[in-house]
Chain A
């Protein structure tokens, strides 16, 4: 029983972090219908920057997201203006190729500048735990989870309570309807891409503490994120949250009762099963045609 409870708690903690990482991917897809394959590479880039900041200054890696999140917001905005905007309106395969290529560029640059070896930020608390009864809660996971929840709450606030957020939601739900009330497509897309990138600014910092990483780790991460958003429904933010929770649980339960090496396979199995049974995912973003 304790073992089960332990697995569930760990699954939910990691699910929260997955939710944050996937929220950016699904937000960008929702507004632009672009699958940003480079989202995983953004995470690793941030993890590397965080590691470096921590190594050089001793700053807490998770707190370093105060620096990396705005940095990635600006980075995302520039990347959208210089690269992504050029394929807007093209077929989705063009954007997949472009962002995949961009991910490889980031990987290559990290390879050359930082070297192809595993890294991990290890603040003082990284091997300590809180204990509640017989269940232990690793401090790093708890802090990571709290940071993720905080950022998701902020994202929710921006999307539902501000004009910027309303414009993003309007453009997601009905691009031509948004144009009719004066919401500019290009500006909204740049903002959504910048916001989506900013979430990796926090997600990557958390990643640097929770998981060892090296430049090519982004393939593994984008696969996980795709598994989550495909399960939840591409473009749906609530879907990404639920999908992340389910896959976090599935991963830790598989690791607990099966084996660690099988646990990452869960994501690929989920992608295949969802595509076969319910291609639109649990909360599939309804297209304009069926939204009536």
Chain B
């Protein structure tokens, strides 16, 4: 579905990405992990067109998208939810989600259908419709951000650190939503600092370091890689797949 070949990209002069190769097959959840500064978020920015690659090739369903503007890439069904501050704080939740359909604004019927679909999907959009997005909690904001990106019925969703700053309960909600989207056939590419959570959710894993891809494989294989286990999971052996992420034990969380 999405493929990056020998992609270089960076900000003003130096290249953060040093010949990155990446593949996302249809209906997979691919999780990119790696230390700060590895270039994880840059990969997402390059795909969504916010940053233009200086070299290399990016294709979506076989067509080159590397030199396209962000709105053209959106039209191809690729939407991005950035790390934070993606919403319009002084607009209502309803308007924020509506803005997600900016590109289909001329087709009112489709817009209404999508809005109903998103309300079904993320009940918060209906229950807090009139509230200003700036007044929502971090978890609620993240749900609205994801809801907004669903307005274009994306084929590929790029999620940058969906767990960032979320309490365990919100985190579970976000993870459930990602899982459900995947079940329905959406392809997801996510970047996650919380390696346990990210790889637990994903079908495939990518390890990045210093702007390069160091390791790719199924999520389980990446998780079981001894080096990854010792670097990111705090031990030489990976925990069983069904164990809750660190600090996210549902039994101890009173809600």
> What residues make up the interface of A, taking CB atoms closer than 8 Å to B?
163, 166-167, 169-170, 173-174, 176-184, 286, 288, 291-292
Contact = CB atoms under 8 A, between A and B. Distances in A.
Contacts of B64: none
Interface string B81-99: 0100111111100010011
Contacts of A170: 88, 91, 99
B82 A180 contact: yes
B71 A174 contact: no
Given A166-B95, A170-B91, A180 B70 contact: yes
Contacts of A174: 85-89
Contacts of B39: none
Interface in B78-132: 79-80, 82, 85-91, 95, 98-100, 102-103, 105
A163 B91 contact: no
A159 to B, nearest CB: 11
A163 B89 contact: no
Interface in B126-180: 134, 148-149
A163 B105 contact: yes
A181 B102 contact: yes
A286 B88 CA distance: 11
Interface of B: 48, 50, 69-71, 74-75, 79-80, 82, 85-91, 95, 98-100, 102-103, 105, 134, 148-149
Contacts of A291: 85, 89-90, 134
Which of B90, B98, B105, B148 is most buried by chain A, counting CB atoms within 10 A of its CB?
B90
A165 B177 CA distance: 31
A210 B88 CA distance: 39
Contacts of B103: 181-182
Given A169-B88, A182-B103, A184-B69, 5 more contacts: A173-B89, A174-B88, A177-B87, A181-B102, A291-B89
Contact of A184 (B71, B88, B99): B71
Contacts of B100: 181
A169 B85 CA distance: 15
Contacts of A181: 74, 99-100, 102-103, 148
B82 A173 contact: no
A184 B69 CA distance: 9
A166 B99 contact: yes
Given A176-B82, A177-B85, A177-B86, A182 B74 contact: yes
A170 B101 CA distance: 13
24 contacts: A166-B98, A166-B99, A169-B90, A173-B88, A173-B91, A174-B87, A174-B89, A176-B82, A177-B82, A177-B86, A177-B88, A180-B70, A180-B149, A181-B103, A182-B102, A183-B71, A184-B69, A286-B90, A288-B85, A291-B89, A291-B90, A291-B134, A292-B85, A292-B89
A180 B73 CA distance: 10
Contacts of B86: 174, 176-177, 180
Nearest to B138: A292
Nearest to A185: B70
Contacts of A173: 88-91
A163 B102 contact: yes
Contacts of B99: 166, 170, 178, 181, 183
A88 B88 CA distance: 22
Contacts of B87: 174, 177
Contacts of A163: 102, 105
Contacts of A180: 48, 50, 70, 79-80, 82, 86, 149
Nearest to B70: A179
B157 to A, nearest CB: 12
Contact of A179 (B50, B88, B89, B105): B50
A291 B133 CA distance: 10
Contact of B89 (A182, A183, A286): A286
Contacts of A177: 82, 85-88
Nearest to B81: A180
